[in-house]
């Protein structure tokens, strides 16, 4: 336990607990900076802030590179939309999958009754995409999470890993693209048709499951009740009309590869559908398999769509408090950018990440990392040594176990809690405080301790001796003064803890003491000894000290913040 100096102890005020706990959404400065282009210095702290929010667990190297590149070039890299080639998930443990041999991909295979092994493979693969450090920095994986949370589904309900894979693949390929087009595709996406009963939506008895969420969660968002069966932006009757428009779509489970969705006219309601005054009492005429696109065009006539999505992006990347000031200065102008660019996401995020507002002090360190940013982010920053030498089945085993780790903290990448997605992004007034509970606190603690354990982390289903281990010394060796423990602590704090101004010298001294104890020279002596005459034993001894240090730093509440 870090001991605080007496001076600090005096500063504890009993009312702090009450003052800072969420009663309602907290109120902060009445004046915030706007979207005008960032005019301040570009330094390590600013680059680190951008990468912490835009990516998952930025490495020290990536931040240093971004300092060198400057803001514009960094953004070019982050927002590069070029499609990348990724090898798809493979069968790593299902010996009974007649069609897909071990080591081959199942994404173009026939359906499989026992689908859960493919789901496990997909979960593992997703972790591997996030942990990957070989590609240039990109917003991609973070945006896949954003979109899958926006169009949230549950793979267990869908019960076909291929559908979930292709849906998320579309998010990956279009991660900064045309949102309006994305909604049109989601209307008739196999995963969504299955998840929200679209395949059962037929002319004689429209099923309103999807139509309701289309309004409430995917486009205009829910508004207050403003009349009987009326929710400000849409009414119950609009939901019924929309579900009629969406009748007739089915999914061919025997189809292989993309394009398993098809339209059946005989199941489609061909009547004219008339909407409420919320949509200008407009009518959509029968238009076969294009009719659902007409519905999206109608919904997007309401500018509320652009604001709703910009609010969600803001909550994901900046902070959850959207007061009048934020609404006027940030959300509305971003929404205009969104509309002016035909609902392309890239210009919106470019404007946001370039703005004075994004870099002002008020925003920094204010986001509680979600479990993926916390646990997988940690492993990206301190990758365990030996993973690259594992065979594919061991790798997948290791990744799948990490997926279990984040799912234990409430962020399952396959199964969202429900169609509204993770509550941290909508549940008032808690928002991301939702991630921190008496269940997730011990889970976060035990994961970090496990990742930093001197015995390493298990990496094989069958052999307990196959282990991968953190070797922080490899990274420390790249520092300017690796023999100087104060220098190491300073660098680590600067990199890992979000608001440097608030990290006191006392705290840093406490960190140093974790390593040196009563012997101030022990680190320097041991390190020099290791340099002069390296041995595995000496290396491990230094690594042990660094692991203890990292357990202190990365279990500080400050490391939970981004």
Partner 1 sequence: MKRREFLKRSVPLTAAPIYLSGVPISAMTESTNLAALTNAGSLSDRCLVLVFLDGGNDGLNTLIPIDQYDILMRDGSGGDSQPLRRPDLMIPKNKILKLNGLDDTGLHSTMEKFQTLFGEDKLGFVRNVGYPNPNKSHFRSTDIWNSGSSSNEFVTSGWFGRYLSSNHPSFPDGYPNSNYPDPLALSIGNTASNTCQGPIINMGVSIKNLNNFIDIKEGGNNTPDTPYGHELQYIRTASKLTNEYFDRLEEASEKGGATSIEYPGYKLADQLKIVAQLIAGGVKSKIFVVRIGGFDTHDNQVDEGNPETGRHALLMEELSESLFSFQQDIIQRNLEERVLTMTYSEFGRRVFQNKSYGTDHGEAAPMFFISPFVNPNPIGALPSLEYIDNIEYEYDFRSVYGSVLMDWFGVDEVTIKSILYENFQYIPILTGTQTNTSEPHAASKRISTYPNPFNKILNIDIENAEGHTYLKIVDSNGKHISELVNKNLKGGVQKFNFDGSKLSNGLYFILLENNGKRFGSSVIKRN
> Which residues in 122-161 contact partner 1 (CB under 8 A)?
none
Distance of alpha carbon 305 from the chain centroid? 22
- Which DSSP category does 30 fall into? S
When the beta carbons of 425 and 523 are compared against partner 1, the nearer one is 425
Question: By CB under 8 A, is residue 321 in contact with partner 1?
Answer: yes
Q: Which of 267, 149, 160, 247 is nearest to 198 (CA)?
A: 247
Q: Give residues 228-257 in contact with partner 1 (rule: CB under 8 A).
A: 228, 231, 236
Q: Which of 43, 114, 134, 224 binds partner 1 (CB under 8 A)?
A: 224
Q: Which of 57, 248, 386, 410 binds partner 1 (CB under 8 A)?
A: 410
**Minimum distance of partner 1 from residue 363's CB (angstroms):** 7
**Phi, psi torsion values for 110, nearest 5 degrees:** -65, 165
Question: By CB under 8 A, is residue 548 in contact with partner 1?
Answer: no
| Sequence-ordered list of residues with C-beta below 8 angstroms from that of 309, at least 6 positions apart, any chain | 179, 335, 338
Question: By CB under 8 A, is residue 266 in contact with partner 1?
Answer: no
Q: What angle do CA 221, 227, 232 make, to 5 degrees?
A: 20
Q: How big is the chain by its Cα radius of gyration, in Å?
A: 26
Q: Which of 40, 103, 442, 520 binds partner 1 (CB under 8 A)?
A: 442
Q: What angle do CA 22, 439, 419 make, to 5 degrees?
A: 75
Q: In whole angstroms, what is the distance from residue 312 CA to residue 323 CA?
A: 14
Q: Give residues 170-199 in contact with partner 1 (rule: CB under 8 A).
A: 196-197
Q: In whole angstroms, what is the distance from residue 131 CA to residue 115 CA?
A: 25
Q: Give residues 355-384 in contact with partner 1 (rule: CB under 8 A).
A: 361-368
At 19, is the secondary structure helix, strand, or coil?
helix
**Minimum distance of partner 1 from residue 49's CB (angstroms):** 11
Question: By CB under 8 A, is residue 418 in contact with partner 1?
Answer: yes
Q: Which of 6, 9, 85, 464 binds partner 1 (CB under 8 A)?
A: 9
Question: By CB under 8 A, is residue 496 in contact with partner 1?
Answer: no
Q: Which of 433, 483, 484, 524 binds partner 1 (CB under 8 A)?
A: 433
When the beta carbons of 84 and 265 are compared against partner 1, the nearer one is 265
Q: In whole angstroms, what is the distance from residue 524 CA to residue 547 CA?
A: 17
As separate numbers, helices (DSSP H) first and strands (DSSP E) second, the chain gives 27, 7
Strand partners, 235: 230
Q: One symbol per residue from 275 to 314: x for binding partner 1 (CB under 8 A), - otherwise; what is it?
A: ----------------------------------------
Q: In whole angstroms, what is the distance from residue 538 CA to residue 104 CA?
A: 42
Span near partner 1 by CB under 8 A; candidates 98-106, 323-331, 438-446, 511-519: 438-446
Give the H/E segment covering residue 31.
Answer: none
**Minimum distance of partner 1 from residue 319's CB (angstroms):** 6
Question: By CB under 8 A, is residue 202 in contact with partner 1?
Answer: yes
Q: Give residues 22-61 in contact with partner 1 (rule: CB under 8 A).
A: 22-24, 26, 28
Question: By CB under 8 A, is residue 498 in contact with partner 1?
Answer: yes
Question: By CB under 8 A, is residue 88 in contact with partner 1?
Answer: no
Question: By CB under 8 A, is residue 465 in contact with partner 1?
Answer: no
Q: In whole angstroms, what is the distance from residue 461 CA to residue 447 CA?
A: 19
Question: By CB under 8 A, is residue 11 in contact with partner 1?
Answer: yes
At 274, is the secondary structure helix, strand, or coil?
strand
Q: How many CA atoms lie within 13 A of 271 on its CB side?
A: 13
Q: Which of 437, 454, 478, 535 binds partner 1 (CB under 8 A)?
A: 437
When the beta carbons of 143 and 220 are compared against partner 1, the nearer one is 220
């Amino acid at each position: 336990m870090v001991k605080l100096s007496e001076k600090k102890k005096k500063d504890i005020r009993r009312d702090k607990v009450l003052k800072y706990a969420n009663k309602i959404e907290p109120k902060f400065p009445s004046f915030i900076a706007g979207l005008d282009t960032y005019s301040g210095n570009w330094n390590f702290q600013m680059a680190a802030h951008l990468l912490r929010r835009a990516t998952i667990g930025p490495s020290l190297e990536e931040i240093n590179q971004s300092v060198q590149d400057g803001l514009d070039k960094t953004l070019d890299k982050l927002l590069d939309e070029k499609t990348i080639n990724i090898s798809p998930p493979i069968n790593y443990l299902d010996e009974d999958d007649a069609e897909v041999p071990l080591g081959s991909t199942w994404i173009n295979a026939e359906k499989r009754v026992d689908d859960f092994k493919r789901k496990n493979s997909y979960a593992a693969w997703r972790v591997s995409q996030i942990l990957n450090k070989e590609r240039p920095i990109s917003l991609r994986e973070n945006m896949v999470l954003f979109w899958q949370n926006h169009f949230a589904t549950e793979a267990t309900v869908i019960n076909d890993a291929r559908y979930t894979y292709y849906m998320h693949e579309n998010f990956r390929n279009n991660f900064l693209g045309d949102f309006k087009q994305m909604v049109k595709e989601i209307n008739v996406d196999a995963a969504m048709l299955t998840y929200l009963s679209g395949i059962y939506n037929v002319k004689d008895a429209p099923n309103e499951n999807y139509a309701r969420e289309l309004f409430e969660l995917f486009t205009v968002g829910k508004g207050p009740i403003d009349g009987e069966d009326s929710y400000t932006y849409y009414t119950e009757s609009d939901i019924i009309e929309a579900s009629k428009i969406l009748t007739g779509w089915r999914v061919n489970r025997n189809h292989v590869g993309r394009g398993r969705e098809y339209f059946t006219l005989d199941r489609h309601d061909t009547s004219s559908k008339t909407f409420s005054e919320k949509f200008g009492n407009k009518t959509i005429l029968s238009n076969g398999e294009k009719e659902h696109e007409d519905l999206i065009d109608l919904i997007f006539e309401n500018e509320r769509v652009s604001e709703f999505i910009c609010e969600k992006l803001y909550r994901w990347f900046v902070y959850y408090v959207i007061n009048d000031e934020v609404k006027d200065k940030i959300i509305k102008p971003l929404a205009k950018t969104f509309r002016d660019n035909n609902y392309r996401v890239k210009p919106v995020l470019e404007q946001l990440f370039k703005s004075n507002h994004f870099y002002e002090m008020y925003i920094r360190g204010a986001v509680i990392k979600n479990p993926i940013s916390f646990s997988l982010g940690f492993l990206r920053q301190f990758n365990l040594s030996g993973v690259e030498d594992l065979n594919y089945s061991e790798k997948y085993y290791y990744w799948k176990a990490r997926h279990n780790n984040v799912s234990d903290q409430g962020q399952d990448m396959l199964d969202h809690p429900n169609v509204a997605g993770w509550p941290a992004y909508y549940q008032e007034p808690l928002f991301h405080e939702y991630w921190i509970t008496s269940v997730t606190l011990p889970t976060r603690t035990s994961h970090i301790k496990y990742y930093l354990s001197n015995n390493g982390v298990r990496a094989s289903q069958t052999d307990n001796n196959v282990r991968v281990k953190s070797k922080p010394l490899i990274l420390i060796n790249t520092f300017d003064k690796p023999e100087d423990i104060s220098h190491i602590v300073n660098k680590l704090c600067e990199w890992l803890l979000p608001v440097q101004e608030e990290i006191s010298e006392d705290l840093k001294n406490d960190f140093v003491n974790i390593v040196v104890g009563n012997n101030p020279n022990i680190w320097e002596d041991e390190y020099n000894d290791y340099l002069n005459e390296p041995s595995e034993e000496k290396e491990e001894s230094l690594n042990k000290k660094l692991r203890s240090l990292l357990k202190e730093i990365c279990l500080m509440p400050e490391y939970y913040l981004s």
